[in-house]
Structures are given as structure tokens and as C-alpha cells.
Amino acid sequence: MPDPEPVALITGASAGIGAALANVFADHGHTLVLAARRAPQLKALAEAIEERGHARPHVVIIDLGQPGAAARIEEELRARGLEAQFLVNNAGFGLMGLAASLYESFIGAVYYEAGFAQAMEIVLDTMGRVLDDIEHAPIKSSKQLLQEWAQGEKLALPAYRMLEVSGPEHHRGFEVEVEVGGHVARGSGTSKREAQEAAAARLLELVTK
């Protein structure tokens, strides 16, 4: 019986980072197995990779969120005479951290073998649009971030209280206190909003240490 063919198994490969990594692995000469539940997108990706001159990826249509999905993929690989040499697990709840770690490791390997320029080219090819979105995303204020933290902790929304207004009318000083979930901080500024932002920033420092 012949030895199984080594492949790179990429789950959740129908879109996003999974599809991007599929292209990267194909460009580096790996035979692929693409697994996801969206058949049209998966088949289109396989065709696109083949049209670029690479071996046509094997396609496994499967809902990876269902119990026993991993065992069914293993059986499918065995039936086709394949064995997963690399696994990029980019599907299912809570797996983003794993996918990110695998991506980081892969980029590190490219940098080690081929240098900075090649690694940077791959990052820009696969993540350029995401990085651009991050760069141009509006910066959230401390008040917004504190409110999001409180909501994430299932606490009441932050409550702001004016403590003091000082100085002449043309040069006011404001001191504000903010409280959320029993945590309290103060901030000051030349406007009520500036003082609230300063208090929120201080409280964020305290609760996220």
C-alpha cells in the first residue's frame, strides 16, 4: 500500500484569512485540502488556485461546527490516500487565536528562510486590506472604551459627576468623577468633556491593569 500523500489541511478556507492562507500555501508548493461548508466559494477557490498553475486542491464540504466533524475529515483524508502534514484550523468558535498563531509562525518561517522582503510581501498580500482598515479606523475616545468595557463586564453604564468648577469664566477648570461597578476615578480639564475623558482614561487604567 503506497504511503499517503502529505497535504496542508486548511479549514474555514472559503473566505477571509483561511482563503488567504490557502493561496500562500499553494504558492509555496503545498498540495491542499480545503474544508468548509460553503461549497460554491470553496470550489471557486480551488479553481482559482489551479488556474494559477498549482495542483488543484482537494475539497471537503463539511460543517465544522457539527459534532464529529474532525473525525469525518480524518476518514475522508484516509479514503483519498492523504495525510495532513500541516493544519491551519481557521474555523469554529474560539479558534481565531489558533489561526493567528499559525499565521504568525508561518510568516516567521518565511522570514527565516527568505528574508524580510518576502515575508513583508506575503503579509501585504494576505492582510493588506485588514491593515489598511485598522490604520484608517476612527480612534475611540476613553469614554467610549470605558462604556464598552462596562458592557462587556455586564455592569451599569459609567456615571459621571461634576465635583468642581473653578477659575474665571474665560478660563474654567473642571473636575469630574466617574464611577462604574464600584470603581472610581477623577479627571480634570478645561471643559466638561475634557474632564470626563480624563476621568474615563484614568479609570480604564485602573480596571485593565
Q: What is the pLDDT of residues 129-176, one digit of tens each?
A: 766 665 565 567 899 899 989 988 899 999 999 999 998 877 889 999
**Claim to verify: residue 120 and residue 42 sit in the same structural domain:** yes
Task: Write the pLDDT tens digit of every residue in 94-121.
Answer: 444 555 656 666 777 777 677 777 777 7
Structural domain span for residue 158:
142-207
Q: How many independent structural domains does the chain possess?
A: 2
The answer on 117 and 58 residing in a single domain is yes
Which of 108, 135, 162 delimits the end of a domain? Answer: 135
Q: Does residue 97 sit in the same domain as residue 147? A: no
DSSP 8-state code for residue 37:
S
Q: Is 139 exposed, middle or buried (0-12, 13-18, 19+ CB in 10 A)?
A: exposed
Q: Are 31 and 59 in contact (CB under 8 A)?
A: no
Residues 196 and 119 in one domain: no
CATH number for the domain that contains residue 190: 3.30.160.20
The answer on 78 and 175 residing in a single domain is no
Residue 68 CA to residue 89 CA, distance in Å, equals 15
Among 135, 161, 194, give the residue marking a domain's end.
135
- Cα 135 to Cα 55, 120, 144, 180: the distances in Å are 36, 17, 19, 31
Q: Residue 188 pairs with which residues in a beta bridge?
A: 175
Condensed to tens digits (0 to 9), the pLDDT of residues 25-40 reads 888 888 999 988 888 8
Distance (Å) of CA 78 to CA 47, 74, 186, 197, 200:
23, 6, 63, 59, 57
Residues 45, 116 share a domain: yes
Long-range contacts of 124-127 (CB under 8 A, 24+ apart): 125/20, 125/23, 125/24, 126/17, 126/20, 126/21, 126/23, 126/24, 127/17, 127/20
CATH number (domain holding residue 105): 3.40.50.720
* Three-state DSSP state, 87: strand
